[in-house]
Amino acid sequence: MGSLHEGHLSLIKKSKDTSDVTIVSIFVNPTQFGPLEDFEKYPRDIERDNKLLKDLNVDYIFHPSAGEIYQESFQTYVSVNELSKKFEGEFRPEHFKGVTTIVSVLFNCVNPHYAFFGQKDAQQAAVIKQMVKDLKYDIEIFVCPIVREDGLAMSSRNVYLSPEERTKALTIHNALLYARKLIEGKEMNPQTVIDNMRVIFSREKFIKLDYIGIVNAYGFREVDLIEEGNEYYILVAAKIGNTRLIDNELVTV
């Protein structure tokens, strides 16, 4: 959605390493924002984005207007039912319908062989993978690692954080690293891991926790037991002041 940072640029570099032609779409998608969310103030700087993309020798920028994508008669949406209900779907009920609709539209406009998404939005990537599978898109989805700045997952929304809030936001990553340490130490009860993470968050009055979850990396389903030989996402969403952040850690047991 623009306001590019090193996390976005890492996706572009992966595309250039993998593909003959790299196309970057920039579109702040109104249908994935709720009525009380930050669509109007979401950071936009297309001139800066263009310069960054030119420096990376991107082949094309696809920057449609909202009117081109959502014409007055627009009435068709794409929904991935089950994966969209939990976690982000619980706190942002219409979010994933907007995501899958715009990604489907962009895929149809561009017809790519590959598409590159960031691990920071792990549930979004899982939802898009499910859509691609269900709708028989001949597209390979790459999920690229989180890029961090002093531990904080890079996000366009980080610009909203005050210096003090930015420091407090590091609690999210610290809690994820502690959860990783517990699991690598053979704590196989996900609820015990989550409870220990909640203790860390309870010490920070600046942080309002939305959820913590542990899901398998393949079906994105919550588990009753962590098992060796599998991969899991540890998920966190929290508000730091007025800024809502999500983060995760991918653990191989």
Which tokens sit at 196? 């220990």
Distances (CA, A) of 92 to 25, 85, 240: 23, 9, 17
CB-count burial class (<10 Å; 0-12, 13-18, 19+) for 27: middle
Q: Cβ atoms within 10 A of the Cβ of 65, count?
A: 8
Length of the chain: 253
Alpha helices in 149-229 (DSSP H): 163-184, 190-202
Which tokens sit at 143? 């999920």
Active site residues: 8
Which tokens sit at 70? 């959502």
Q: Which of 126, 115, 132, 154 is nearest to 213 (CA)?
A: 126
What is the pairing mode between strands 23-25 and 148-149? unpaired
